[in-house]
Amino acid sequence: MAMSVNENLSLDPSFIANGLRFECQGSGKCCSSRGEYGFVYLTRFDRQRLAKHLNISTASFTKKYCAKHNGIWHLRSDVEKPDCQFLQKKQCGIYEARPTQCRTWPFWPEILNAKSWSKEVTGFCPGVGKGKKWTAEEIQKIADEDQQNTRQFGT
C-alpha cells in the first residue's frame, strides 16, 4: 500500500469513537506509489501466503517479486512504474492472498488521528466517507491487526 505516513502520530481513540465510513471504490490509487515511502511491506507470513497462492516456493516468490529496504522485505517496485506489480486494470491480481498491509488499509494506527487522516487519507482515497460505517471496535480490531503485522516486519 503506497503511502507516506508520519510515524510520530498514532491512533486517537476520540477520532474513531463515532466510527468511520469507508468502502473501497476500486480506484487503485492506494496501489500506486507516491514516492519514497511507497512500499508494500511483507512479513514472512505474507510471503508464504503469496507464494502458496502463486503455487511457487517462498524462496522463489521472494527472489522474483521482493526487495529489501532497511532490512524489511517489500514488494519490488520500479521508480519508472509506480503501480504495484500486481495491479491489473485497477484491480489487485492477488486479492485473496494480498499482503496484510493492503487488507488493513485505511485503518492503520498511525493515520487514525484527525491530522494524518486529513493529510494522508481523505484527499487521496475516494473510499473515505463512502459505504459501510465501521464501528470504533471494528476499526480498533483492524488497527491492532495492522500493528501486530508491523511487529513482524523484518522476519
Distance CA 52, CA 14 (A): 40
For ligand SF4, give the closer residue by CB, 47 or 98: 98
- 102 makes contact with ligand SF4 (CB under 6 A): yes
Rule CB under 6 A: choose which of 39, 61, 86, 117 binds ligand SF4: 86
Query: Least distance from C-beta 31 to ligand SF4, angstroms?
Result: 3
For ligand SF4, give the closer residue by CB, 102 or 113: 102
The DSSP letter of residue 110 is G
Span interacting with ligand SF4, options 8-16, 62-70, 98-106, 135-143, rule CB under 6 A = 98-106
**CA proximity to 7, closest of 99, 98, 95, 70:** 70
Query: Least distance from C-beta 40 to ligand SF4, angstroms?
Result: 5
How many other C-beta atoms are found inside a 10 Å radius of the C-beta of residue 154?
A: 13
Residue the block writes with cell 510471503? 47
Residue 67: which region, alpha, beta or left (left: phi > 0; alpha: psi -120 to 50)? beta
For ligand SF4, give the closer residue by CB, 45 or 114: 45
